[in-house]
């Protein structure tokens, strides 16, 4: 197993080059022939977006039941590939199918049990994708804190320490109030279940949490300094994991009135990329923007943050990066190919030909039905009628 770990680290170092020099790929804009594959860096990016760390206590024995979960709604092929990758490292997992692709429960991969989860956490830690002058960072979001808490929960602890650690998950520091959510036991319910006095677990794991919070705070400071000083090195496959998780490519079009350089009415086409993160992952977006040299505003929706990449120069830089680090998710690759096709058609001057636009629009609408990224679209028949008037 140790040899395999060494091999994994060597492969990651060889594959994931310095993403600070991402612009060198801008003139190498081709469809990739590299076979997509799961790596540790990719998996960490995927967990950063679509993964989560969990733990419960058995009612009588108070044994911890740790779990790592990765959910996918459209890129369901990813979970099978991740499962095979984990199996090659002796980590067992299960994949539970979702109820619906639209609005229902997503497919989920789960790694459960102290032995399996402990093995996974150790391997994740050995393959940190972010480097600031030799200082490694595993996650840029508060998932780092949950990771560290779950790792502690796999150790030998007192009952009150376990409860205190459990109730400190999903936070950014121990001083924040306990998070109340349906289906999750409160601190008092845990204490009552084990016949403990009220607040017996309060600050029981204070010394452990102080160390965790210090690590998390220092990691955030290191990443922010690395971005400010341009010393942060970001693994390429980590970025791919972020996009396969909560990113999305899509095409927009807008009917515009005549402008001097056009003889006819004009349709403005645009390729776009969005990346959406939860509120405690703002720094992840900043790392992503830094790696690709993107300058764009961050949308704050109170419950999530989002960036939208529209500039063609930035889009080409990101898409060319996939020639070196291909997407793994089928639906995300389909979205990417659609944007690439748009740029190729525009360069060939074919986006004013009705038959070309008609065929392309049918593809756009078909993909948006499978993976609904971007704004809502009008019925295809209505759009095609307008296109015929505009280009006819």
Q: What is the pLDDT of residues 353-366, one digit of tens each?
A: 889 999 999 998 88
- Angstrom distance (rounded) from CA 368 to CA 386: 19
Dihedral of CA atoms 136, 316, 328, 370 in degrees, nearest 10, equals 130
CATH 3.10.28.10 fits 236-391, yes or no: yes
Helices (H), 74-186: 76-87, 114-126, 143-153, 159-166
Please report where in the chains the tokens 């780092």 appear, as a residue. Answer: 144
pLDDT at position 392 is 65
- Angstrom distance (rounded) from CA 25 to CA 161: 50
pLDDT at position 99 is 54
- Angstrom distance (rounded) from CA 243 to CA 276: 9
Q: What is the pLDDT of residues 252-272, one digit of tens each?
A: 888 877 666 555 667 889 999
User: DSSP state, 303?
Assistant: S
Tell me: pLDDT of 164 over 90. Answer: yes
Contact 315, 307 (CB under 8 A): no
Q: What is the pLDDT of residues 284-326, one digit of tens each?
A: 999 999 999 998 999 998 889 999 999 989 999 899 999 889 9
pLDDT band at 67 (very low <50, low <70, confident <90, very high): very high
- Angstrom distance (rounded) from CA 353 to CA 82: 43
Tell me: pLDDT of 82 over 50. Answer: yes
Q: Which residues contact 33 (CB under 8 A, 6 or more apart)?
A: none
pLDDT band at 27 (very low <50, low <70, confident <90, very high): very low
Using CA atoms, how far residue 16 sits from 13, 151, 319, 375, 392, in Å, is: 6, 26, 16, 33, 48
Helices (H), the chain: 2-15, 40-50, 76-87, 114-126, 143-153, 159-166, 187-193, 206-229, 236-246, 282-292, 312-324, 330-347, 354-370, 380-391
Tell me: pLDDT of 108 over 90. Answer: yes
pLDDT band at 375 (very low <50, low <70, confident <90, very high): low
What is the token pair recorded at 226? 């690395």
pLDDT at position 384 is 86
Domains 2-234 and 236-391 share a fold: yes
Segments making up each domain of the chain, as ranges: 2-234, 236-391
- Angstrom distance (rounded) from CA 133 to CA 113: 35
pLDDT at position 264 is 61
CATH class of 2-234: alpha beta
Q: What is the pLDDT of residues 180-210, one digit of tens each?
A: 777 788 999 999 999 999 999 999 999 999 9
Contact 109, 94 (CB under 8 A): yes
pLDDT at position 103 is 54
Count of Cβ atoms closer than 10 Å to residue 51 Cβ: 22
pLDDT band at 218 (very low <50, low <70, confident <90, very high): very high
Tell me: pLDDT of 216 over 90. Answer: yes
Tell me: pLDDT of 22 over 60. Answer: no
Contact 160, 200 (CB under 8 A): yes
- Angstrom distance (rounded) from CA 321 to CA 370: 25
Tell me: pLDDT of 376 over 70. Answer: no
Give the residue, 314 or 36, on which the prediction is more confident.
Answer: 314
- Angstrom distance (rounded) from CA 331 to CA 95: 19
Contact 110, 96 (CB under 8 A): yes
- Following DSSP, what letter does each residue of 354-376 receive, concatenated? HHHHHHHHHHHHHHHHHS--SS-
For the chain, give the mean pLDDT: 86
Average pLDDT of the segment spanning 110-114? 96
Q: What are phi and psi of 210, to 5 degrees?
A: -60, -45
pLDDT at position 26 is 34
Report CA torsion sign: 292, 294, 299, 300: positive
Tell me: pLDDT of 131 over 50. Answer: yes
For the beta sheet containing 232-234, the strands, ordered from the edge strand earlier in sequence to the opposite edge, are 135-137, 130-132, 232-234
């Amino acid at each position: 197993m140790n040899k395999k770990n060494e091999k994994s680290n060597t492969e990651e170092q060889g594959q994931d080059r310095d993403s600070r020099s991402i612009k060198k790929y801008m003139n190498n804009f081709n469809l990739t022939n590299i076979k997509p594959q799961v790596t540790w860096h990719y998996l960490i990016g995927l967990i950063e977006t679509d993964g989560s760390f969990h733990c419960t206590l058995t009612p009588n024995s108070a044994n911890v039941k740790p779990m790592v979960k990765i959910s996918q709604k459209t890129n369901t092929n990813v979970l099978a590939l991740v499962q095979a990758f984990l199996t090659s490292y002796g980590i067992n997992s299960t994949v539970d199918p979702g109820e619906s692709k639209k609005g229902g429960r997503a497919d989920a991969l789960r790694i459960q049990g102290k032995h399996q989860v402990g093995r996974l956490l150790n391997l994740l830690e050995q393959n940190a994708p972010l480097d600031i002058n030799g200082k490694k960072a595993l996650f840029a979001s508060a998932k780092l804190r949950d990771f560290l808490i779950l790792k502690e929960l796999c150790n030998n602890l007192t009952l009150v320490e376990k409860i205190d650690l459990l109730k400190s998950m999903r936070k950014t520091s121990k001083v924040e109030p306990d998070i109340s959510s349906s289906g999750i036991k409160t601190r008092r319910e845990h204490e009552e279940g084990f016949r403990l006095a009220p607040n017996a677990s309060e600050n029981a794991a204070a010394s452990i949490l102080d160390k965790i919070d210090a690590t998390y705070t220092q990691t955030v400071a290191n990443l922010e300094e690395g971005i400010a000083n341009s010393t942060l090195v970001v693994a390429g496959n980590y970025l791919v994991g972020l996009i396969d998780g909560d990113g999305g490519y899509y095409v927009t079009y807008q009917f515009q009135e005549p402008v001097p350089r056009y003889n006819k009415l004009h349709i403005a086409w645009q390729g776009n990329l969005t990346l959406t993160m939860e509120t405690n992952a703002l720094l992840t977006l900043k790392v992503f923007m830094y790696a690709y040299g993107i300058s764009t505003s961050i949308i704050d929706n109170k419950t999530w943050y989002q960036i939208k990449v529209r500039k063609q120069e930035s889009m080409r830089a990101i898409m060319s990066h996939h020639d070196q680090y291909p997407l793994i998710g089928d639906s995300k690759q389909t979205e990417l190919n659609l944007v690439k096709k748009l740029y190729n058609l525009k360069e060939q001057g074919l986006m004013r030909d009705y038959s070309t636009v008609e065929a392309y629009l049918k593809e756009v609408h078909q993909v948006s039905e499978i993976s609904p990224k971007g704004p809502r679209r009008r019925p295809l028949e209505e759009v095609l009628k307008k296109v015929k008037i505009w280009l006819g």
